[in-house]
Amino acid sequence: MLNFSKINIVSIYLIVFLISIFSILNFQTKDNIYFDKKVNLGLDLQGGSYLLLEINSDSLVEEKIQSKVIPIKKLLRDNNLNFTNFKINKQSLDLKVDDLKKFDLLFFSKKENLVNPYLDNYRSFELDYSSLEDNRVQIMFSKFGLLTINNAALKQSIEIVRRRIDDIGTKEPTILQRGEKRILVELPGLKDPERIKKLLGKTAQLNFRLVKENSEFGIDELISENGEKLKVSKRIIMSGENLIDAQPSIQNQQNQPTVSFTLDRLGAQKFGRTTTDNVGKRLAIVLDNKIISAPNINEPITSGNGMISGNFTFQEATDLALLLRSGALPTPLDIVEERTVGPDLGEDSIKSGLISLIVGFFLVILFMLYKYKIFGVIANTALIANLLMLIGILTILEATLTLPGIAGIILTVGMAVDANVLIFERIKEELKTEKSSIHAFDTGYSKAKITVLDANITTLIAAVILFAFGSGPVKGFAITLGIGIITTLFTAYFLARHLTSILVLKNKNREIKI
């Protein structure tokens, strides 16, 4: 256990040096950045915004239930089941059937085919119905159907929220699912929370529709940005799904901020055909049921590129381009909870955490020096290397450090000392019976290894469980604790053991006491 080859010695000190050197990167200034990696501070340490969002799936349920009209009518007709008074409500379909028993048998044997033919074994049907008086039935989504809609909308919303926040350039955001309908968003260091709220509050449903002068059927009356009321066709020429890219730009002639967009092949064909057939007419660009621009079509636009103009500031044009690039939210998002953590509170937390770490660190060092003398110096050297390696690994991972993370580092100090205490106490016992100090130290390290591994591996298992089932700050604690356990085992059984071997081999002919 005390014998090291030259390759092992070089490997040990090279690993310690290379990983520890990354910890220094956290002290770089903005003017002197050699390697852009550092430990990021979490929301509780540097301040920022905390938002809890909730999807409002009512409009999506209405849209989905309407998509079932044609399949249900076809199913009834194919099975010769007469129906009348078919009505589309907000979240249900009402109809009257001539044979309720036949409908019940047909519905429960066939309704899974409207969704998924593989779900019929468990009655996990998307649709359900209730019987009303006079042979009337009401078809609606089942609990399973609503849960499926919410889950799909929530996952899509999380992805789009992530795209929008990443586009702004926010460092280390936390975006997590909370329950069936909620999204947690933490934005450390955010200086403009109102802009984020405005961006996340828009569904960004974009479509292009022709402006109509008459009051024919199929007309919506919408208000544009300048307060003008326009009558637009309900027929959507093209939606935001056909956009490939959108970027803010400046018109050279008027120096007016605009948004330039690029369409995919299908969108370019639709746009080209519409602008060719409607030269001289106005085209309304509608965002979230509000007209943001309604320019005249002066000539056919067949290139697949276009421009959205309006009374934008450059910031508004930038945000609009961001919304269009990230895609439309499937449902509106409501802010159900909002908190802002000031930087002053974060600074106090950092100071408190650092004071705790420094005080605990020096008390441990003094105890080890008092208890184990020269071997205490070895243990303390390993402890310092342990902390540098821990911070270095966190820097390499660009991890986000929170208050629980600092607690994990403080706990690592105790775990590191605990390993050396177990080893030294085991060696003490061996020195009482062994005449050879080399043999005593070798046996002590060998016998203590199982105990040290058991103690650290059980703690590592707990850290893995916390990381797997915890969230936010709990995960931060688990990460620092888990990494700390690995660096503790490395420094105790490689670095400290090598330093101990140097001391023991130099004094092999003398009596060594711990």
Q: Which of 35-39, 190-194, 258-262, 291-295 has the highest mean pLDDT?
A: 258-262
Domains and CATH numbers, the chain: 6-45+344-506 (1.20.1640.10), 60-146 (3.30.980), 206-305 (3.30.1360.200)
What is the predicted pLDDT for the residue at 120?
A: 42
Which amino acid, residue 210? Answer: L
pLDDT at 385: 93
Per-residue pLDDT tens digits for 333-374 = 888 888 877 666 667 777 787 788 788 888 888 988 988 889
Region 490-495: what's the mean pLDDT?
90
Query: Within a 10 A sphere around the Cβ of 254, how many other Cβ atoms?
Result: 9
Listed in order, strand segments (DSSP E) in 83-226 are: 83-88, 92-97, 127-131, 136-141, 174-178, 182-188, 206-210, 219-223
**Sorting pLDDT into bands at 50, 70 and 90, what band is 116?**
very low
State pLDDT tens for residues 26-37: 877 666 666 777
What pLDDT does residue 117 have? 41
pLDDT score at 14: 94
| DSSP output for 294-339 | --B--S---SSEEEEESS--HHHHHHHHHHHHH---SS-EEEEEEE
Q: Residue 377: its pLDDT value, please?
A: 92
Identify which has the larger pLDDT, 140 or 470: 140
CA-to-CA distance for 111 and 117, rounded, in angstroms? Answer: 9
Which one is predicted more confidently, 349 or 290?
Answer: 290
Looking at residue 121, its pLDDT comes to 37
Confidence of residue 440 (pLDDT cuts 50, 70, 90): confident
pLDDT for position 113: 44
Considering the entire predicted model, what is its pTM? 0.66
pLDDT on residue 251: 73
> Contact, 386 vs 500, CB < 8 A?
no
Mean pLDDT of the chain: 83
When pLDDT is averaged across residues 424-440 and rounded to a whole number, the result is 84
Interval 52-79 mean pLDDT = 87
With 50 as the cut, is the pLDDT of residue 123 above it? no
Q: Which tokens in the block code for residue 418?
A: 């605990």
Rounded to an integer, what distance in angstroms lies between the CA atom of residue 368 and that of residue 377? 7
Average pLDDT over residues 190-195: 76
Burial class (CB within 10 angstroms; exposed 0-12, middle 13-18, buried 19+) of 78: exposed
Over residues 368-416, the pLDDT tens digits come to 898 888 999 999 999 999 999 999 999 988 888 888 888 888 888 888 8
pLDDT tens digits, residue range 240-269? 888 888 888 887 566 788 888 898 888 899
Determine which of 228-232, 262-266, 455-459 has the lowest per-residue pLDDT on average: 228-232
pLDDT, residue 506, reads: 84
Q: Give 167's contacts (C-beta < 8 A, 6+ positions apart).
A: 322, 325, 326
